[in-house]
């Protein structure tokens, strides 16, 4: 079980000279603000939301690239954040990440064999060059690059975008981690290649028993790979539940807006137009109550005063005062 409890990351922003002289409190950007969820081994949780909602910052917190302001991450009974401080190598044996850009995340001066075996060198796992080569071949074969011997001596510029992303996946799985975080792994690939990468990730989760967090803004791809879905807005999870339940019966107005903006392959299908207005608010000067209320089409006065309950408290939950029973709750709260 991967268990995240009340995880937050607040960035302190630089002050103006006048504000510093007056000793005013420095502004804080709440990129991630009190996020909690759990993912079981062999399961995939999708994390969706528009740009700027905090998805990538959350991913960087989970792999130790950022230090949290508060909160904890547990792998079973082990505190992952404490483990990272005590033994960084042991931490990275348990959690790995596949980055969004397969062009920027590979060293252009290294051959593919060097790239895939670099984690083994860092972990001091392989005793000999022959053993490292064997492990690299196994990882590349599992990632769908076959025969792997043909790729070991190549440089990244000799590969296509899809092949590069498969190399990134091979590098991530060579240490046999427990948690794999895929940060929009198909967003920079051609449409014809995306399905193959999704199928590869599904197979790795099934065969290796990995827990995976799949970060995307594409709900259509999330529906084909994720067991559960968490919708994120301004640093918080606003809806969480089984993927098909969230897609078929969305309860939060923001989730409904995301679904309304998702294209369909059916030329006869027509979705309702999203009713939200304006752009995502400033994450520094946040208003009270529900964070979505300035853009919400069903907002009531209570929404500006009272924060809704945590969306992860139920199997299918939504951080909205009017979720699941709109008419009855409107009467109670107004």
Residues whose CB is less than 8 angstroms from the CB of residue 129 and which lie 6 or more positions away in sequence, other chains included: none
User: Could you tell me what percent of the chain has a pLDDT over 70?
Assistant: 92
Band (pLDDT 50/70/90 cuts) for residue 327 is: very low
pLDDT at 1 exceeding the cut of 90:
no
Predicted local confidence at residue 334, as pLDDT: 37
The predicted structure's pLDDT at residue 329: 44
Q: Please state, rounded to an integer, the average pLDDT across all residues of the chain.
A: 86
CA 17 to CA 25: how far, in whole Å?
12
At residue 109, the 3 state secondary structure works out as: coil
Write out the two tokens for 237: 């999870």
Instruction: Give the pLDDT confidence of 209-224 residue by residue, as tens digits.
Output: 899 999 998 888 888 8
Report yes or no on 130 lying in a domain. Answer: no
Q: Are 12 and 26 in contact (CB under 8 A)?
A: yes
Residue 261 located in a structural domain: yes
Q: Is the pLDDT of residue 243 over 60?
A: yes
Cα distances from 301 to residues 251, 289, 297, in angstroms, run: 19, 10, 12
* Residue 271 counted as domain residue: yes
For residue 236, name the pLDDT band (cuts at 50, 70, 90). Answer: very high
Query: Does residue 230 lie in a domain region?
Result: no
> Residue 89: pLDDT above 90?
no
Within a domain: 326: yes
Mean per-residue pLDDT for 159-177? 93
Q: DSSP label at 15?
A: P
Task: Supply the pLDDT for residue 20.
Answer: 67
Three-class secondary structure assignment of 20-41:
HHCCCCCCEEEEEEEEEEEECC
pLDDT score for 328:
40
H-helix or E-strand spanning residue 79: strand 78-79
Contact between 193 and 162 under an 8 Å Cβ cutoff? The reply is yes
* Beta-strand pair 44-48/228-233: parallel
Q: Whole-model pTM?
A: 0.87
Kindly state whether residue 81 falls inside one of the protein's structural domains. no
Residue range of the domain that includes 296: 250-334
* Residue 4 confidence (pLDDT) above 60: yes
pLDDT at position 168 is 94
Token pair of 175, please?
């240490």
* CA–CA gap between residue 126 and residue 47 (Å, rounded): 34
Per-residue pLDDT averaged across 29-42, rounded? 91
Is there a domain that residue 154 lies in? no
Q: pLDDT at position 228, please?
A: 95
For residues 12 and 55, what is the distance between their CA atoms, to the nearest angstrom? 19
In the predicted structure, residue 109 carries a pLDDT above the cut 50: yes
For the segment 246-269, what is each residue's pLDDT rounded down to a tens digit? 999 999 999 988 888 776 666 666
Residue 62 lies in a domain: no
- Interatomic CA distance for residues 258 and 50, integer angstroms: 8
**Which residues lie below 8 Å from residue 306, measured CB to CB, with a gap of 6+?**
289, 290, 321
Number of domains in the chain: 1
Q: What are the angstrom distances between the C-alpha of 122 and each of 89, 115, 126, 172?
A: 8, 12, 10, 13
């Amino acid at each position: 079980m991967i268990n995240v409890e009340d995880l937050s990351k607040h960035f302190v922003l630089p002050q103006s000279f006048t504000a510093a002289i007056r000793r005013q409190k420095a502004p804080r950007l709440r990129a991630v603000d009190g996020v909690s969820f759990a993912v079981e081994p062999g399961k995939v949780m999708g994390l969706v939301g528009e740009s700027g909602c905090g998805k990538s910052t959350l991913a960087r917190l989970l792999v130790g690239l950022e230090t949290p302001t508060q909160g904890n991450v547990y792998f079973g009974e082990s505190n992952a954040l404490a483990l990272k401080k005590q033994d960084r190598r042991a931490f990275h044996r348990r959690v790995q990440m596949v980055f969004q850009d397969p062009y920027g995340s590979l060293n252009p001066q290294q051959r593919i064999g060097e790239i895939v075996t670099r984690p083994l060198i860092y972990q001091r796992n392989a005793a000999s060059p022959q053993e490292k080569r064997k492990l690299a071949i196994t990882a590349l074969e599992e990632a769908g690059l076959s025969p792997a011997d043909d790729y070991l001596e190549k440089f990244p510029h000799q590969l296509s975008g899809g092949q590069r992303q498969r190399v990134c996946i091979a590098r991530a799985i060579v240490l046999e981690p427990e948690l794999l975080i895929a940060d929009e792994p198909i967003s920079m690939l051609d449409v014809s290649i995306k399905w193959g990468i999704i199928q590869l990730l599904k197979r790795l989760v099934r065969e290796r028993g990995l827990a995976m967090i799949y970060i995307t803004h594409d709900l259509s791809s999330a529906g084909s790979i994720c067991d559960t879905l968490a919708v994120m807005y301004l640093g918080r999870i606003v809806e969480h539940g089984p993927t098909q339940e969230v897609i078929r019966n969305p309860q939060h107005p923001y989730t409904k807006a995301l679904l309304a903006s998702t294209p369909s392959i059916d030329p006869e299908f027509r979705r309702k137009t999203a009713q939200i207005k304006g752009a995502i608010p400033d994450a520094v000067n946040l208003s009270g109550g529900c964070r979505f209320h300035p853009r919400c089409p069903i907002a009531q006065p209570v929404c500006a005063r009272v924060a809704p309950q945590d969306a992860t408290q139920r199997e299918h939950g939504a951080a909205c005062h009017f979720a699941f029973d709109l008419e009855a709750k409107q009467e109670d709260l107004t």
